[in-house]
Structure 1
Amino acid sequence: MPVKCCLCDGSAVLKRPKTGDVMCKDCFYHAFEEEIHHTIVTGNLFTRGEVVAVGASGGKDSTVLAYVMKLLNERHDYGIKLVLLSVDEGITGYRDDSLETVKRNQQQYDLPLKIVSYEELYGWSMDAIVKQVGLKNNCTFCGVFRRQALDRGAMLLKVDKIITGHNADDIAETVIMNVLRGDIARLRRCTAITTGTDGALPRCKPFKYTYEKEIVMYAYFKKLDYFSTECIYSPNAYRGHARTYIKDLEAIRPSAIIDIIHSGESLSFKKEVKMPVQGTCKSCGYISSNPVCKACVLLEGLNKGLPRLGIGKPSRERRKLAKMEEEATINGSANESTVLKSCNKSHGSCDCKKTNKPLDRRKPNAEDFEF
């Protein structure tokens, strides 16, 4: 006997992982969309007239986000302008394929698209970085560079806000990771629906309370065009362990994901615990809570052949750097091996002099990229 939808007389085709309700497709679409609308309204995420960049990777989360945001903007008249913003990390066989999906989404949703790349911004691709650092710590480089690349792309587009496809599962994982690390600063802000309000570019998460499984179901039933392959460099990422733990909890208690988020929201901290203050990096001028941002520290290590400068024990790596600089001074010029190590391999196995000049870290102008 067919099971009836809990909201209408139609036949149910799915059971919502989040609530356990059985629904027909149309009722599920409406419930899914209106819950996101409720999150947007109660969180006061947008103001009429704002230009909002959708962080688009081609994956299920960002694809559904772009589709739903366009739909809700028209349905509820938010009065915002949406643009797609993508980052090309330079991962052959992964990002190049996913960006083709983003380009199709641009046509399907009729939204402007901007793509910025690590190669253009930093002089390094992730493929080249992995050759230097290996698979163990590559996600550190990618995460730091990607966050700044989104900011730099958004500044090029002169947007007011960035929205990302971080869902409830992602936020619950982040809570658990920060608890395990004892990272009070990040634990305090990881459940916020909007971050960076004290900086130039706030970031919002309209999917804060939206389950990953429901995003997948929505994309499947709507037949949305998205890229589903996992990053080839992330199998050893620390987040993967937190993800497995969250999935095990969800199988036992579906509300565990929301419960963890609410727990993170309810945490209180001692008044004497000081949180990092957002400022600007004295090297590149972008947002940083330290005098020199993490991206610049990581780049310095890569360009000087010391990739662990920003992730290993700072004192040990700094001693290596000081020794290299001392040898260079004694010899009167840079040691040849140091120069070769500085090359990001983009010039092949040549002995070009391009690596002798400092990396261009200026803020790019709109003329640097075609829209």
Structure 2
Amino acid sequence: MPSCSAKCGRNAILKRPKTSDVLCKECFFEAFENEVHFTITRAKLFTPNTTVAIAASGGKDSTVLAYVLKLLNEKYDYRLKLLLLSIDEGITGYRDDSLDTVKQNRDDYEMSLKILSYKDLYGWTMDEIVAEIGRKNNCTFCGVFRRQALDRGANLLKVDYLATGHNADDIAETVLMNILRGDLARLSRCTSIITDSGDGIPRVKPLKYCYEKEIVMYAYFRKLVYFSTECVFAPNAYRGHARVLLKDLEKIDPTVIMNIIHSGETMKVSETSKMPKLTNCTRCGYVSSQEICKACVLLEGLNKGLPRLGIGKSSKVKRLLKENEEKNKSSGICRGEEDKTCLCSGTDSMKPVKINELVLKELRI
């Protein structure tokens, strides 16, 4: 058995994917924690005497994040108040089980926990949404709703920061996805270690430079309790293709993960480029680059029996909304907003099948 690369005199039990160093368990813990501490201090992620909500899913990333932040907070006197914020998407056999892990983390780490559900916020669970739309675009709905739910939860708790468990692999995957989609405008946001949704509560990524494999090893050797089952709807996600590509590249060269992140950082859109101006959604008040935020557009589609309405470009969505309203009026279906059974008023109590099918046909991808 080889000796630890840190020359501590102990035998090595693992090889770090990130650096190829062979280390003993204790030296690996120290190296991992020191790197997270360095990331936090170098990027000035937190200021003393503030409150941090940790986005907790019960998975390896958020569990390690909660554990390490608690440890570093005590070791280096960050003077942070830490609490857990979880979102219940309403996925039977997945989220209900993972929330049990979050509750155990709450007890183990002595942190308060707030759980918000899609059902309470939007009136739909993901199980209900998938039953309505199928499995092809469910991650679009879940991603939009989850991001907004976390922001709303952070505002509700009046915290100063929202810490997420995004790791180096996650960020590299997102860079690849944006490049493959030709969406270079999103590179700045996805690679930034601190982002602001416009509500004044920064999102921070303390694990930005931590490899997924090392997070798994840290959780394993620390004997942390986490939920390891993949979301039942995840195999259909577009991200899965980027993940497979990244893993194949990593087999050839482990440094490819950091190389992709650094490439994404240098490929940011020029500051002179015209970017969407943030405003507030006219319906829910949430920060948005459009008059109506993506979540409200998706909800409108669900409530009107047009679940694919919000999938696609915003200009196409606006056009189809207007056309649908005009068709309703010309056919005599629309009786004005004062009539609560009117399709245009946003309720789903009346769903003209022929009109819905016409719109769905145009939206089909």
Distance 1:3 1:131, change over 3 A: same
- Aligned letter for 1:106? R
Query: What is the CA–CA distance in structure 2 between the aligned matches of 1:248 and 1:131, rounded to whole Å?
Result: 34
Is residue 231 of structure 2 the alignment partner of residue 231 of structure 1? yes
Bigger relative contact order, structure 1 or 2 (CA pairs below 8 A, ≥6 apart)? 1
SS at 1:308 equivalent: coil
Percent identical among aligned pairs is 62
Query: What is the CA–CA distance in structure 2 between the aligned matches of 1:143 and 1:322, rounded to whole Å?
Result: 31
Distance 1:61 1:333, change over 3 A: closer
Query: What is the CA–CA distance in structure 2 between the aligned matches of 1:333 and 1:287, rounded to whole Å?
Result: 28
SS at 1:284 equivalent: coil
**Residue-by-residue CA offset, 1:171-199 (whole Å, 9 max, x unaligned):** 00111111111112211221100001754
Deviation at 1:245, TM superposition (A): 0.5
Query: What is the CA–CA distance in structure 2 between the aligned matches of 1:286 and 1:108, rounded to whole Å?
Result: 34
Q: Is the 8 A contact 1:54 1:84 kept in 2?
A: yes
Distance 1:197 1:24, change over 3 A: same
In the TM superposition, 1:170-319 aligns within 5 A as 170-196=170-196, 198-312=198-312, 313-314=316-317, 315-316=319-320, 318-319=322-323
Deviation at 1:269, TM superposition (A): 3.2
Runs (4 or more) in structure 1 with deviation over 6 Å come to none
Q: Give the aligned partner of residue 3 of structure 2.
A: 4
SS at 1:4 equivalent: coil
**Residue-by-residue CA offset, 1:121-148 (whole Å, 9 max, x unaligned):** 1111001111111100110000000001
Moved more, 62-71 or 332-341: 332-341
Deviation at 1:322, TM superposition (A): 3.8
**Residue-by-residue CA offset, 1:207-229 (whole Å, 9 max, x unaligned):** 11000000000001111000001
Q: Is the 8 A contact 1:308 1:317 kept in 2?
A: no
Q: Is the 8 A contact 1:122 1:299 kept in 2?
A: yes
Q: Give the aligned partner of residue 13 of structure 2.
A: 13
Q: Which residue of 349, 359, 363 maps to 1:339?
A: 349
TM-score (normalised: structure 2): 0.89
Is residue 92 of structure 2 the alignment partner of residue 88 of structure 1? no
Query: What is the CA–CA distance in structure 2 between the aligned matches of 1:297 and 1:238, rounded to whole Å?
Result: 21
Q: Give the aligned partner of residue 56 of structure 1.
A: 56
Structure 1: stretches of 5+ with no match in the other structure:
343-371
- Aligned letter for 1:269? V
- Aligned letter for 1:339? S
- Aligned letter for 2:341? A
Distance 1:318 1:90, change over 3 A: farther
Q: Is the 8 A contact 2:51 2:81 kept in 1?
A: yes
**Residue-by-residue CA offset, 1:47-70 (whole Å, 9 max, x unaligned):** 011110000000000000000000
Q: Give the aligned partner of residue 329 of structure 1.
A: 334
Q: Give the aligned partner of residue 163 of structure 1.
A: 163
Q: Give the aligned partner of residue 346 of structure 1.
A: none
Query: What is the CA–CA distance in structure 2 between the aligned matches of 1:6 and 1:325, rounded to whole Å?
Result: 75
Q: Is the 8 A contact 1:185 1:276 kept in 2?
A: no
Q: How many residues align?
A: 341
- Aligned letter for 2:5? C
Cα RMSD (Å) of the superposition?
1.9
SS at 2:85 equivalent: strand
Q: Give the aligned partner of residue 79 of structure 2.
A: 79
Query: What is the CA–CA distance in structure 2 between the aligned matches of 1:232 and 1:40, rounded to whole Å?
Result: 33
**Residue-by-residue CA offset, 1:78-136 (whole Å, 9 max, x unaligned):** 11100000000000110000000000100010000000000001111001111111100
Distance 1:69 1:292, change over 3 A: same
Query: What is the CA–CA distance in structure 1 between the aligned matches of 2:325 and 2:100, rounded to whole Å?
Result: 41
Structure 2: stretches of 5+ with no match in the other structure:
353-365
- Aligned letter for 1:5? C
SS at 1:254 equivalent: coil
Query: What is the CA–CA distance in structure 2 between the aligned matches of 1:187 and 1:65, rounded to whole Å?
Result: 24
Q: Give the aligned partner of residue 109 of structure 2.
A: 109
